[in-house]
């Protein structure tokens, strides 16, 4: 059976959710493919997002950035982990060749572990990247403080250069290591449920404004949560941690979404506003579902100003300082974003279909 090997960075959930949308679109074109997921992103993400069988193996070919929560980076530990992966690279690649050699792998999709393209090259099949940044570009900035990143960046660039094609997403950062590049629209999850139906299934209050606190898989600890003003309900998904949740707050676990036949993008679309730190996934979903966004800074992450530029040009948005966020002083920002205008038309959100056409062409 024709197989596609898919490698996704386990850093946050954005890489995995993009992959889910893309391979679902690919399966509509090629339902005969055997899907081999090679990632440390949780299996449950794919179980909830994919409509058919797949094989999931916890394979770690990259590090991302080590964080203690959604806003706090540990650069020294990131470098240590990168060096560990680098030292193990020959063995890791060889293991992948051995494990995939008996499968009829015709294509490798990477978002965006660099060494996945070494695997593709060794297998003699096309390696296609789909991403808006590459890890060498992220680490370049850290090399100013920790020169050990220089060698890591050089190694990653050599591996990225082995990709046959880069499908470059919006919010793109410089990625000069890649040769052939094609620009594609947003890959974004769009809700298929009406907001009123989402509220009904989750027993969320009607007639109130819902504000979703979305801080990814690593979550965020708040020093305090402000009292919910009249007519506003704050939704805390799984991963947001606080010792006190009072009136006007509702916790919604991922398992509850699944049991009610819903996905995370349905919650985004049902919200009147989302409060978050910028990442491709949540920004794309807010754009695709036309949900205003209150955003905060996310530490020393080079992608951040690129994301902010996109937010300010395309979304109804208000900035909130980290200190104000953690202290629970965010009601003014929320009130402002609920009145903020949308600066432009809705962007194209059929990127998964476009990338799937590209992938199907290789198959």
Q: Mean pLDDT throughout 250-268?
A: 90
Among the ranges given (68-82, 243-257, 293-307), the one the predictor scored with the smallest mean pLDDT: 243-257
pLDDT band with cut points at 50, 70 and 90 for residue 344: confident
What is the DSSP secondary-structure string of 244-299?
Answer: ---TTEEEE-HHHHHHTT--HHHHHHH-SEEEE---HHHHHHHHHHT--EEE---S
What confidence score (pLDDT) does residue 240 get? 45
| Domain definitions of the chain by residue range | 2-186+350-362, 195-337
Q: Report, in angstroms and rounded to the nearest whole number, the Rg of the chain calculated over CA atoms.
A: 20
pTM: 0.93
Residue-wise pLDDT tens digits, 271-326: 999 999 999 999 999 999 999 999 999 878 999 999 999 999 999 999 999 889 88
What confidence score (pLDDT) does residue 52 get? 86
Q: Mean pLDDT throughout 251-272?
A: 91
Residue-wise pLDDT tens digits, 146-194: 999 999 999 999 999 999 999 999 999 999 999 999 999 999 999 999 9
pLDDT band with cut points at 50, 70 and 90 for residue 349: very high
Asked whether residue 239 carries a pLDDT value surpassing 60, the answer given is no
What value does the mean pLDDT of the chain take? 92
- As a whole-number percent, the residues of the chain with pLDDT over 90 amount to 77
Q: Mean pLDDT throughout 74-93?
A: 97
What confidence score (pLDDT) does residue 12 get? 78
> What would be the CATH architecture of the domain defined by 195-337?
3-Layer(aba) Sandwich (3.40)
pLDDT band with cut points at 50, 70 and 90 for residue 67: confident
Helix then strand count (H, E) for the chain reads 14, 17
Q: Mean pLDDT throughout 117-125?
A: 98
What confidence score (pLDDT) does residue 206 get? 83
> What would be the CATH architecture of the domain defined by 2-186+350-362?
3-Layer(aba) Sandwich (3.40)
Tokens encoding 28: 């509509």
Residue-wise pLDDT tens digits, 184-237: 999 999 999 999 999 999 999 888 999 999 986 555 666 667 888 888 999 987
pLDDT band with cut points at 50, 70 and 90 for residue 268: very high
What confidence score (pLDDT) does residue 219 get? 56
Query: What are the CB-based long-range contacts (under 8 Å, 24+) for 56-61?
Result: 57/99, 59/7, 59/92, 59/96, 60/10, 60/85, 61/7, 61/85, 61/92, 61/96, 61/113, 61/114, 61/115, 61/116, 61/119
The reply to whether domains 2-186+350-362 and 195-337 share a CATH topology is yes
Tokens encoding 341: 């205008």
């Amino acid at each position: 059976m024709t197989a596609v090997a898919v490698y996704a960075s386990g850093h946050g959930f954005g890489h995995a959710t993009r992959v889910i949308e893309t391979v679902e679109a690919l399966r509509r074109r090629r339902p005969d493919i055997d899907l081999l997921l090679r990632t440390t992103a949780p299996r449950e993400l794919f179980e909830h997002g994919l409509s058919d069988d797949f094989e999931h193996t916890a394979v770690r070919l990259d590090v991302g950035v080590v964080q203690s929560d959604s806003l706090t980076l540990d650069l020294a530990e990131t470098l240590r982990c990168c060096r560990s992966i680098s030292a193990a690279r020959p063995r890791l690649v060889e293991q992948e060749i051995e494990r995939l050699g008996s499968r009829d792998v015709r294509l490798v999709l990477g978002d965006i572990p660099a060494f996945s393209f070494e695997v593709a090259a060794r297998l003699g099949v096309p390696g296609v990247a789909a991403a808006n940044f590459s890890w060498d570009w992220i680490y370049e900035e850290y090399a100013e403080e920790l020169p050990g990143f220089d060698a890591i960046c050089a190694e990653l660039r050599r591996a990225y250069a082995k990709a046959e094609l880069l499908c470059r997403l919006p919010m793109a950062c410089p990625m000069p290591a890649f040769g052939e590049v094609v620009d594609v629209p947003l890959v974004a999850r769009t809700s298929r449920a009406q907001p009123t139906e989402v509220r009904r299934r989750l027993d969320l209050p009607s007639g109130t404004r819902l504000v979703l606190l979305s801080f990814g898989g690593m979550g965020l600890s708040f020093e305090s949560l402000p009292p919910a003003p009249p007519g506003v309900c704050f939704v805390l998904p799984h991963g947001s941690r606080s010792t006190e949740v009072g009136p006007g707050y509702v916790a919604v676990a991922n398992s509850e979404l699944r049991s009610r036949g819903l996905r995370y993008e349905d919650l985004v679309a049902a919200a009147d506003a989302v409060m978050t730190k910028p990442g491709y996934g949540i920004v794309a979903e807010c754009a695709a579902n036309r949900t205003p966004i209150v955003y905060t800074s996310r530490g020393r992450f080079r992608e951040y100003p690129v994301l902010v530029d996109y937010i300010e040009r395309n979304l109804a948005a208000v900035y909130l300082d980290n200190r104000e966020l953690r202290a629970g002083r965010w009601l003014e920002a929320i009130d402002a974003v609920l009145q903020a205008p949308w600066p432009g038309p809705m962007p194209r959100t059929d990127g998964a279909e476009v990338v799937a056409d590209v992938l199907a062409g290789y198959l």
